[in-house]
Structures are given as structure tokens and as C-alpha cells.
Amino acid sequence: MDSILVRGNGPLSGQIPIAGAKNACLALMPATLLSEEPLTLTNAPRLSDIRTMTQLLASLGAEVTALQDGKVLATSCHGEINPVADYDIVRKMRASNLVLGPLLARLGHAVVSLPGGCAIGARPMDIHIDALTALGAEIELKEGYLHATARGGLKGAVHEMRFASVGATENFLMAAVLAKGTSVLKNAAREPEIVDLARCLRAMGAQIEGEGTSDITIQGVDRLHGATHPVVTDRIELGTYMLAPAICGGEVECLGGRIDLVASFCEKLDAAGISVEETARGIKVKRKNGGIRAVDVVTEPFPGFPTDLQAQMMALLCTAEGTSVLEERIFENRFMHAPELARMGARIEVHGGVAKVHGVARLKGARVMATDLRASVSLILAGLAAEGETVVSRVYHLDRGYERVEEKLRAVGAHIERVKGE
Ligand code: EPZ
């Protein structure tokens, strides 16, 4: 297994291009199941998770061709469709469950493996099941697979979700666009990835209103046509790289960055003593005068502070002046990076969903282990400012969500290299 070696190398300077969003692309690709005509996605990220989704869609009978060095995905699904999403693929990536809604809408039936738990939480699918059941689906769990049937097709309905789940909102949207009649989803997720999916579906001929708010209205149509859609910027990759100059000093411009995608995060950076400025090409970040100040953070659904930036924010606060309190409200087990940061000399107390970070003067390099995608990059960020050398192992987690991380950080002056595994 590969590992990544990082050595603290002082202030950073330069530009980092931000790619298209993994979490948008993983919802956009299954939309190809909704039409016989081609769907082309531009500004696509080049990540192992995208390759896994490509493998899954191919197993269902769709074609996905990566063009222009992988930045364009040409997808289509005009032949026979296999309704079974197999455990061997689904267990690799939870987002595979986003084929359930479109398969049900297109075929009237689907058999999708339950993904099982993951490092950051149990992550059940009850909210997805309730939402699709509201549209008239009958869903039964048999031998680890969800067997879903919509006799006579899906029917429009008004449904309120118990929690604003991102995935359940995406499955409901992709099911309701071909349902008979009107659907209203209440307490819907408001993430930019949901807005991006709704825009793509509208470009395919769907009738949707209210995306980005808690109430989304969908008027079902008989069929959808082809379209070309640019994947929205990755706000989590953006936030991650905005933290690099915050942690190491210097000034970095994140190309393609937009403040509206990361507003609550920028508020916390400002409170921590970090200057964030919108530019013609993106967002420029540097430290204000003085050190990093401690801040308290609570993770919430969008537009609140994103859970996917919690680990990276913790890396910053390890060397803040004072004590910061981070509360993780989305996932029940998302502090696995804390004991690894402690190996680098951080002082962190974790009690359930709350972590107290007592700032120290400087971290020290150490060998550490990545436990999940966002934890892996928080260890790299910490290593960029630590004294000496940090070696992060199990970086296959990282490759799921960050393209060319070494190249992007080296371009702004970081000392970082990949050590190839056996
Ligand atoms: C999406 O996951 C993202 N993944 C996650 O990013 C992100 O952390 C999460 O949204 C929250 O923002 C993708 O988009 C592929 P949820 P998703 O359904 O859709 C519970 C990353 O690092 N829940 O909003 O799975 C669930 O257990 C990943 O890129 C139920 O209880 O998130 C969790 O505690 C990690 N029952 C909470 O809701 C359900 O049926 C939020 O889950 C569904 C969810």
C-alpha cells in the first residue's frame, strides 16, 4: 500500500486548481439510467470512487467512457438494463446506493445491496426506504439486498424526511422525475450537490423547483432526454486546500473556488485569524497578523459547517492559541483522526461526539495511519506544518476523494511525495 511522506517546509505560495465535486459526480452519473439518450458530464474529477461508479454502471448495462484525460464522462444507457447492484461493488463505495431511485423509476424494480457500515458510522438507509415507499415502492430486505418494486410505476406524493439526508434526497429526486403526478419533498437536503443534480435533471427535461431549499417540488414527466452538464466545483477539496496556507502560512489562491459554496466554513476561518478573499479566478487565503485563534465548530447539514471539513479544521486548531471545541453532529464515529494527530503531539480529548482541542506550539512529525478519506487529508495538512517528517499510511482512502494531491501541494511549495507500496 502506498504511503505519503510530508515534511514541514514553511509558508506556501501559488495557485491550486479545484476539481469537479466527487459527491456531485457520484449522484450525476446514475442519472444516466433515467434516459436512453446520452448524458455527458464535463469538469469531472479523476478519482477511484468515480472509477468504482463507472464499474457499477457498466454492471447494470450502462456505458461510461472517460474522455479528455478523464475530465469528461460520456455516459449512456440505451440497451438492456440489469436491475441488480451487486454487493461486491456496493461494499466498496456506499454511494452505489444512488442507483436505487433511478433503477426504480426506469424499470419499476431494482435489487440493490445494502452497503453495510463504514468507519465513520452505521449509515443505515431507512430514510431512503421511507422516501421511496412514499412514492409507492414496496421495499423488502432479503439476504442483504433491498428488493424494490413499483407495480404500475411510481406515483407522485408529498413526503417529509425525518432528517435532511443528502443521499435520500438524491434518490427521491431521481425517482420522482419519472413518477406520475407531482411530488413534494419536505425537509430536503440543501447541499450544493443537490442543486447540481436538480440542474442536470432539468437539462434532461425534468420539472423541478425549490432545490437548495428544504421543500423541493417535482412534476413527473414521461421521459427524459440527453444533456451535457458541468460538474459543480468540489467545495470539500476547496476547503481542504484553503486550510493549507492557514496551517503553514503564506498565501494560496484556489482556482475555481466560490465563497457561496463554503460560507459557514469561511466564517470560522475568519474567526480563527485567517483572511479569505474572493478573486477573479477563485479564492485567496492567507493568515492575518498574529497566530491562529481557537474557535468552536458544530457540524450541520448545509448551509451549516460541513462534516467533511471537520477533520481538516481539527488539524488547523491543533496549533491554535487556546482550546477549541468541535462537535460532530452528523456521524457518530468521525474522530478517528484525533488519536493519529495525538501521535504528532496534539492535545485532544474526545468524549462521544465532542472533541476538545488544546492548542500546542507546534506538531512533530510521526508515522500515522489514515482511517477514512477526510481523516487522511487532515494528517497530510498537519504534516505540512509539523517539525520533521510525517508518513501517512493507507492513502488509498485519500485517492478516493483527492486527485493529484502531491502535485497540487508541491506546486505551492510543499515538501510531499508518494512512497509506493509493495
Ligand atoms: C453524503 O453522504 C456524502 N457522500 C458524505 O461525504 C457526507 O459526509 C454526507 O453526505 C453529509 O454531508 C456523498 O455524497 C457520496 P446523509 P450520505 O444521508 O448521503 C444518517 C465524504 O467524505 N442517515 O446525509 O450518506 C447517516 O447515517 C463523504 O465525501 C440515516 O440514519 O449522507 C448520517 O449519520 C463521507 N438513515 C446522516 O444521516 C438514512 O437512510 C447523514 O447522512 C440516511 C442517512
| Cα 97 → chain centroid | 14
Nearest CA to ligand 1 atom 42: 165
Residue located nearest, by CA, to atom 21 of ligand 1: 308
Query: H or E element: which one contains 296?
Result: none
What is the mean pLDDT of the segment spanning 334-349? 98
254 is catalytic: no
CA of 104 to the centre of ligand 1 (A): 21
Ligand 1, atom 31, lies closest to the CA of 124
Q: What is the pLDDT of residue 116?
A: 78
Number of helices followed by number of strands (H, E) in the chain: 14, 24
pLDDT of residue 381: 98
Q: CB-based contacts of 407: which residues, under 8 Å, 6+ apart? A: none
Task: Quote the CA–CA distance of 118 and 72 in Å, as a whole number.
Answer: 30
Given a contact cutoff of 8 angstroms between Cβ atoms, the answer to whether 35 and 226 are in contact is yes
Mean pLDDT of 375-389: 97
How far does residue 95's CA lie from ligand 1's centre (Å)? 9
**Nearest protein Cα to ligand 1, atom 35:** 308
What pLDDT does residue 422 have? 63
Give the residue-averaged pLDDT of 275-293: 95
What does the pLDDT look like over 55-105, one tens digit per residue? 999 999 999 999 988 999 999 999 999 999 999 999 999 999 999 999 999
Distance 94 CA to ligand 1 centre (A): 9
pLDDT of 216 reads 98
pLDDT at 290 over 90: no
How far apart CA 177 and CA 218 sit, in angstroms, is: 6
In ligand 1, the atom with minimum distance to the C-alpha of 124 is 36
Q: How far does the centroid of ligand 1 lie from the alpha carbon of residue 236, in Å?
A: 14
Cell of 127: 430514510
Closest atom of ligand 1 to CA, residue 127: 40
Span from the CA of 240 to the centroid of ligand 1 (angstroms): 19
The CA 394 to ligand 1 mean position distance, Å, reads: 22
For ligand 1, atom 10, the nearest C-alpha belongs to 166
Run of H or E residues at 214: none
| % of the chain surpassing 70 pLDDT | 100
**Ligand 1 atom with least separation from CA of 306:** 12
> Is the pLDDT at 205 greater than 70, yes or no?
yes
Which of 353, 357, 311, 306 lies closest to 329, judged by CA?
353
Give the whole-number percent of the chain exceeding pLDDT 90. Answer: 96
Out of 25, 77, 118, 266, which one is annotated catalytic?
A: 118
Pocket test for ligand 1, best of 193, 231, 330, 372 (most atoms within 8 A of CB): 330
How far, in Å, from the CA of 225 to the mean position of ligand 1? 29
Rounded distance from Cα 361 to ligand 1 centre (Å): 35
Residue with cell 448524458: 39
Q: List, chain by chain if needed, residues with CB within 6 Å of any ligand 1 atom.
A: 23, 26, 94-95, 121, 123-128, 163, 165-168, 307-308, 330-331, 373-374, 401
Handedness of CA 9, 14, 20, 24 (dihedral sign): positive
The pLDDT of residue 281 is: 98
**Mutational test site, ligand 1, from 22, 23, 129, max ligand atoms within 8 Å of CB:** 23
Residue nearest to atom 37 of ligand 1 (CA): 330
Residue of 93, 163, 378 best suited for mutating to test ligand 1, as the one with most atoms within 8 Å of CB: 163
pTM (2 d.p.): 0.98
CB-based contact 40:75 (threshold 8 Å): yes
Mean pLDDT of the chain: 97
Question: pLDDT tens digit string along 119-142?
Answer: 888 889 999 999 999 999 999 999
What cell numbers appear for 165 in the block? 439526508
Residue 121 has a pLDDT of 84
Q: Comparing C-alpha atoms, which of 209, 152, 212 is closest to residue 183?
A: 209
DSSP β-ladder status, 354-358 and 323-327: antiparallel
User: CA-CA distance, 340 to 376, in Å (whole number)?
Assistant: 10
β 347-351/354-358 pair status: antiparallel
pLDDT at residue number 119: 82
Q: Which residues of 243-261 are buried (b: 16+ CB within 10 A; e: fewer)?
A: bbbbbbebbbbbbbbbeeb
Alpha-carbon distance of 154 to 411, in angstroms, equals 51
Q: If you take atom 44 of ligand 1, which residue's CA is the nearest one? A: 165
Q: For 223-346, list the strands marked E by DSSP.
A: 227-230, 250-255, 274-278, 282-287, 297-298, 323-327
Give the number of the atom of ligand 1 that is nearest the alpha carbon of residue 163: 38
